[in-house]
Amino acid sequence: MGEEESRIGDELSILVLTAERLRVAVDEAESFKTECGEVGKQVDRLAQMLRTLVRFVSSSSQQVYDRPIRRVIVDVKKNLERGFALVRKCRRHNIIRRVCIIINAADFRKVINLLESSNGDVKWILSVFDSDGDGSFGGGIVISLPPIATNDPILPWVWSLVASIQMGKLVDKIDAANQLGSLAGDNDRNKKIIVDEGGVSPLLRLLKESSSAEGQIAAATALGLLACDEDKVRSIVNELGVPIIVQVLGDSSVRVQIKVATLVARMAEHDPVAQDEFARQCVIKPLVTLLSLDVFVDDIHLSKHNSIHSLVQMNKEG
């Protein structure tokens, strides 16, 4: 287990302790016992799912995609603390404290609804990591919408797709990469969400998957669609993507090379830093080899692509 998994496992374990503390407060309640009992039911479900999530994160043999977990943890913590603050007011107090403390049923309805939402969020995360329902925690594409993202349905879709690319079976990775590319092609906002939610690194790992040309093509296509401006290209560069791209360009089949050459062209077109990095990684040799085949890339003749020409010129000038 890596350092990140250990840290998020610790944060989840703290949530379990917070839930258990709330459960104790429910058992000690002297007033609003029915309402406290409803809170207790929500907390029991939540604690059970949190323990399952802790076991998964702690025992996973691969890097866990933690973006949705981290987002949900924040809300779950707030909701458990809010529940505890309310339920502890129902313990036995002296007459003066009871007069000063004002509680009504509406307060409980609000807390119960919040805890119900937290249950829905954690259940959704577990469904993403165990999409087959067999406890294998392989990652998979989930279409459902968690309560935390009801106002932005694209966000959980991106989370699910990125989780599948990072943690799923190869067939799921390819499907998810194709869907992520389709989302990226729709609009710039989708591109930003994919980059912001950590989609670049899993795509680069899939690009390195030499056992699957289909996976490499799906990854290169999605990355090419993301590489639409300097900031997003720089995100690929910052994930140490250039050495990976150059290696795949030199080692893969021609149909993979064509897609990767398109990616190189788009990155070089938008970012001078990417151009420098490609030149440093000796991208010219595999490009010249591909150029000699006189291939077409996305209906653009590769040898006439301006950014490819710029790279060749940089090599000559160097």
Residue 28 inside a domain? The answer is yes
Q: How far apart are CA 140 and CA 130, in angstroms?
A: 7
What is the reported pLDDT for 303? 46
Pick from 50-54, 254-258, 296-300: least confident: 296-300
DSSP-assigned states of every residue in the chain: --HHHHHHHHHHHHHHHHHHHHHHHHHT--SSHHHHHHHHHHHHHHHHHHHHHHHHHHH-SS----HHHHHHHHHHHHHHHHHHHHHGGGS---HHHHHH----HHHHHHHHHHHHHHHHHHHHHHHHHTTTSSS-----------GGGTT-THHHHHHHHHHHHHHS-HHHHHHHHHHHHHHHHH-HHHHHHHHHTT-HHHHHHHHT-TT-HHHHHHHHHHHHHH-SSHHHHHHHHHTTHHHHHHHHHHHS-HHHHHHHHHHHHHHHHH-HHHHHHHHHTTTHHHHHHHHTTT-EETTEEGGG-HHHHHHHHHHHH-
What is the reported pLDDT for 99? 45
Residue 61 inside a domain? The answer is yes
Q: How far apart are CA 193 and CA 188, in angstroms?
A: 9
**How many domains, in total, are found in the chain?**
1
Residue 258 inside a domain? The answer is no
Tokens of 61: 């043999």
Pick from 3-7, 160-164, 241-245, 250-254: least confident: 3-7
Residue 269 inside a domain? The answer is no
Do 277 and 236 touch, CB atoms closer than 8 A? no
Residue 161 inside a domain? The answer is no
pLDDT per residue as tens digits for the range 198-218: 999 999 999 998 889 999 999
pLDDT band at 171; cut points 50, 70, 90: very high
Do 268 and 307 touch, CB atoms closer than 8 A? yes
What is the reported pLDDT for 216? 96
Do 312 and 287 touch, CB atoms closer than 8 A? yes
What is the reported pLDDT for 124? 94
Residue 6 inside a domain? The answer is yes
Residue 214 inside a domain? The answer is no
Do 230 and 268 touch, CB atoms closer than 8 A? no
Residue 313 inside a domain? The answer is no
What is the reported pLDDT for 96? 45
> With 90 as the cut, is the pLDDT of residue 31 above it?
no
> With 80 as the cut, is the pLDDT of residue 7 above it?
yes
Global pTM reads 0.85
What is the reported pLDDT for 81? 96
Domain containing residue 58: 1-129
What is the reported pLDDT for 229? 94
What is the reported pLDDT for 4? 65
